[in-house]
Amino acid sequence: MPNSLPCPDKERKALTFKFLTPLLGAPAEAAIISRMTSRLDALKEHSLVVADTGDIDAVERWKPQDATTNPSLLLAAAEDPRFRPLVERAIAEAGGEVAAAMDALAVQFGAEILKHVPGRVSTEVDARLSFDTQGSSERARRLIGRYEKIGVERERVLVKLASTWEGIRAARMLEREGIHCNMTLLFSFAQAAACADAGVTLISPFVGRIYDWHKQQRKVEDIPIEEDPGVESVTRIYNYYKQHGYATQVMGASFRKIEQILALAGCDLLTIAPDLLEKLAAGRGEVPRRLSPEKAKASPTEKQRLDETSFRWMFNEDAMASDKLSEGIRRFDADARKLEKLVVSLAPAAPAVPQPG
């Protein structure tokens, strides 16, 4: 009588393949494997998956390669009672000074996240410095200094800067100092071309926010994935970078639905919120590679060289990008101010934060 005791999943899969492959052949075996593999695992075959969250427990659960944070995500995490000790520690470290406490808080969360990812964490510079090259550079150096003070090497940190002309100039300087940058709030090809010329480490084009703007303009509930302007934007940028040999990595961000993520399988990195990671993990099936250097090089395009004047004009011509960049800076600033109020409420004696500039 055959042994009826249950066997581990890996052993069960091996037995299934052993008996079915001779009967059904290799294509059937591939189909079986596909059905057993989650879409999240299948996606990881083509792109590095990054967790878009400040929730340390979520990072620990999903075990991504990297993690990204921003003022909105940090606000949500700081308001969570589970992470109150980190907030209090940052305030104590800063001696009650609010601006220093904000930097310390970002670094405290970043350092905790790095305990659960093998790669890098992205930490954002104050949105009010988006049009201040020197101020952005100085704040970035301070953040890196705080990380290094607690034993975190700068290679494990990406400093997030807004993709304004001033932010891109700051990134050019910082990269030459060995401070690696993640250019955020990126909505246009002009921004992407300028970032590549600046030699930044990584850019984060916002798929979902581009989609939101066009959906509102068209007054529709949805846009078919084959016409999705956010997906089209990232695809164009990825292809341009690969055609011209830029080392800058492309990380698709700000997704609204699973289909957008799957349509960009093969992009260098994809930063995904926990709710969408959950859906990908629950789904089964193959994830075909949509982007690749080989496909990119099949349709060559002209290399762009943008100075400040041509950058500003080209960006200004893109109504969506102009709207979303301004809105994004305002939103990140608003959430940063809410976070400041939380810090002040926990440290009543802390002085007000001086306005930059």
pLDDT, tens digit, 9 for 90 and up, residues 27-46: 444 444 445 799 999 999 99
What ranges do the domains of the chain cover? 38-346
pLDDT at 19 over 50: no
pLDDT, tens digit, 9 for 90 and up, residues 169-227: 999 999 999 999 999 999 999 999 999 999 999 999 999 999 999 999 999 999 999 99
pLDDT at 150 over 80: yes
Both tokens assigned to 232: 């089209």
Q: Which long-range contacts (CB under 8 A, 24 or more apart) does 304-310 make?
A: 304/189, 304/193, 305/197, 306/190, 306/193, 306/194, 306/197, 308/165
pLDDT, tens digit, 9 for 90 and up, residues 304-319: 999 999 999 999 999 9
**Beta-carbon neighbour count of residue 315 at 10 Å?**
21
Q: Which long-range contacts (CB under 8 A, 24 or more apart) does 339-345 make?
A: 339/71, 339/74, 339/75, 339/78, 339/102, 339/105, 340/98, 340/102, 342/75, 342/78, 342/79, 342/87, 343/87, 343/90, 343/91, 343/98, 343/101, 343/102, 343/105, 344/98
pLDDT for the residue numbered 239: 98
- pLDDT confidence bin for 354, thresholds 50/70/90: low
Both tokens assigned to 246: 């830029």
Q: What are phi and psi of 257, to 5 degrees?
A: -155, 160
Which residues are known to be catalytic?
160
Helix (H, G, I), strand (E, B) or coil at 290: coil
Mean pLDDT over each residue of the chain, to the nearest integer: 89
Both tokens assigned to 218: 């068209």
CATH tag, 38-346: 3.20.20.70
pLDDT, tens digit, 9 for 90 and up, residues 287-302: 999 999 999 999 889 9
CA 270, 271, 274, 275 dihedral sign is negative
% of the chain surpassing 90 pLDDT: 81
DSSP 142: H
pLDDT for the residue numbered 348: 61
Secondary structure element (H or E) that encloses residue 79, with its range: none
CB 230 within 8 Å of CB 183: no
Q: How far apart are CA 335 and CA 345, in angstroms?
A: 15
Both tokens assigned to 94: 């800063």
pLDDT, tens digit, 9 for 90 and up, residues 254-277: 999 999 999 999 999 999 999 999
DSSP 219: T
In sequence order, the 6+-apart residues with CB closer than 8 A to the CB of 311 are: 165, 190, 194
pLDDT for the residue numbered 21: 40
Question: Token match 């600033």: residue?
Answer: 333
